[in-house]
């Protein structure tokens, strides 16, 4: 049985972040600040969904040798930061259709389509 109390708590936090994003947007604060709270709301709603469907959201995935090797290759080829190389390698090996980022420098990576959110104001 899913942890209803915990799910509702995460959904309430998501709702609060969405309310904050709306208030910030209406006050004409920088657009990125409202977007940050929207992203936080989505992340918290996804945690609630993961608890419901998987019954936990703290499942840890082991970093594989394939991911490490691909991350190393990406770092050597494009001089990207290690966290970016790891995230992109994991996305590629999970057969993601696109990698979403705010870092336009990652657009240089050609092995997977890179979607830069800045382009979608």
Answer with the residue of higher pLDDT: 43 or 78: 78
pTM: 0.53
Return the residue matching tokens 């996804």.
46
Answer with the residue of higher pLDDT: 105 or 61: 105
Terminal alpha carbon distance of the chain:
41
State the CB neighbour count (10 A cutoff) for residue 88.
25
Question: For the chain, what are the domain ranges?
Answer: 4-54, 75-119
User: pLDDT digits over 48-98, tens only?
Assistant: 888 887 776 555 567 888 899 999 999 999 999 999 999 999 899 989 999
């Amino acid at each position: 049985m899913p942890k209803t109390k915990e799910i509702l708590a995460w959904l309430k936090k998501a709702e609060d972040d969405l309310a904050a994003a709306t208030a910030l947007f209406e006050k004409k604060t920088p657009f990125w600040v409202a977007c940050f709270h929207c992203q936080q709301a989505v992340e918290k709603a996804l945690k609630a969904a993961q608890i419901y469907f998987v019954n936990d959201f703290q499942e840890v995935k082991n970093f594989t040798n394939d991911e490490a090797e691909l991350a190393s290759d990406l770092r050597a080829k494009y001089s990207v930061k290690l966290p970016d190389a790891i995230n992109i390698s994991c996305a590629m090996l999970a057969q993601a259709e696109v990698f979403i980022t705010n870092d336009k420098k990652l657009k240089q990576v050609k092995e997977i389509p890179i979607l830069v959110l800045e382009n979608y104001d």
